[in-house]
């Protein structure tokens, strides 16, 4: 394990006895990058974070014990990264949970290796204002890229606005979603889910009654080579969605069963 830390900034977010964030002089934002053997991708991600114009960003990098030179690139930016570590983990969501435990900002966003902020003023533009306590998630739009080549803009409907969310998934990429840190710390990512743990956390926040605020601004450029974007993982994603809805006794569960049966029949017929 390797770890580097810098002294904490002058202003920080504190939590009361219930885990809620208390009022501070500003809104420190925690950005977390998770990586593993990402030597060809991580530098552009790091640069997109450290070049943000916002004045109070806590930047954490959680590496899974890379052996391809990724750690050398992380070390190159030691003076701009608040804290980083490199050690083995149980997968991407385990690494993301490590970042959540380390986070001290009021809001948290995951910008994993290969993904980038859309431009250098994203965080500043979104946090020019404060958001009331009933807002649990702030999310923006996403551009999809294949490495550094633009593919398309996101046209998905967020799960909060659709009657069949199991078909569209979360409809929000976590790279474009700021979550209240105390909620992330309270819930953590469920390691039983290999693809949709971020969806499960978002769904729980929604079921708790928190508002999801949409900012009509492109927040991130998302590398479509991520695991949840791969076509071969489509059925696995559907299965995880079923589990999420079953656990919450969601009204969507019966609809999902019907839809899954339809997919299975179509596969048997060779049409999917």
Is 207 strand, coil or helix? Answer: helix
pLDDT in tens, 121-158: 999 999 999 999 999 999 999 998 786 666 656 656 66
Assess whether pLDDT exceeds 60 at residue 235. Answer: no
pTM: 0.79
CA 238 to CA 168: how far, in whole Å? 9
Tens digits of residue pLDDT in 72-120: 999 999 999 999 999 999 999 999 999 999 999 999 999 999 999 999 9
The pLDDT > 70 percentage for the chain reads: 64
User: How many whole angstroms separate alpha carbon 109 and alpha carbon 138?
Assistant: 10
- Please list, in sequence order, all residues whose beta carbon lies within 8 angstroms of the beta carbon of residue 172, skipping any fewer than 6 positions away: 137, 139, 156, 158, 159, 202, 212
Sign of the C-alpha dihedral, residues 111, 34, 236, 244? negative
Token pair of 51 as six digits: 């070049």
Question: Kind of pairing, strands 135-146 and 149-153?
Answer: antiparallel
Closest CA to 142 of 206, 196, 220: 220
The rounded distance, in Å, linking the Cα atoms of 34 and 12 is 23
Nearest to 154 by CA among 170, 165, 138, 166: 170
At 2-41, the pLDDT tens digits run: 556 544 443 444 444 455 554 444 699 999 999 999 999 9
- As a whole number of angstroms, the distance between CA 110 and CA 99 comes to 9
Per-residue confidence band for 251, with pLDDT thresholds at 50, 70 and 90: low
Query: How large is the greatest C-alpha to C-alpha distance in the chain, in angstroms?
Result: 62
């Amino acid at each position: 394990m390797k770890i580097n830390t810098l002294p904490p900034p002058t202003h920080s977010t504190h939590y009361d006895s219930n885990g809620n964030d208390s009022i501070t002089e500003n809104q420190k934002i925690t950005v977390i990058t998770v990586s593993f053997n990402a030597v060809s991708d991580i530098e552009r991600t790091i640069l997109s974070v450290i070049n943000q114009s916002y004045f109070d960003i806590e930047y954490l990098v959680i590496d899974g014990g890379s052996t391809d030179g990724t750690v050398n690139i992380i070390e190159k930016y030691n003076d701009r990264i608040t804290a980083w570590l490199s050690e083995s983990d149980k997968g991407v969501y385990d690494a993301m949970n490590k970042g959540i435990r380390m986070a001290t900002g009021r809001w948290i966003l995951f910008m994993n290796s290969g993904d980038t902020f859309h431009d250098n003023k994203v965080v500043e533009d979104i946090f020019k204002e404060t958001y009331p306590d009933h807002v649990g998630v702030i999310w923006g739009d996403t551009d999809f890229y294949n490495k550094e080549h633009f593919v398309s803009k996101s046209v998905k409907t967020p799960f909060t606005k659709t009657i069949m969310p199991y078909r569209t998934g979360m409809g929000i990429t976590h790279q474009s979603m700021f979550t209240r840190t105390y909620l992330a710390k309270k819930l953590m990512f469920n390691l039983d889910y290999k693809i949709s743990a971020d969806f499960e956390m978002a769904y729980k926040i929604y079921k708790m009654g928190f508002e999801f605020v949409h900012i009509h601004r492109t927040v991130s450029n998302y590398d479509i080579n991520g695991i949840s974007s791969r076509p071969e993982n489509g059925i696995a994603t559907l299965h995880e969605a079923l589990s999420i809805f079953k656990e919450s006794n969601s009204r969507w569960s019966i609809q999902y069963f019907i839809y899954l049966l339809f997919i299975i029949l179509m596969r048997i017929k060779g049409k999917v």
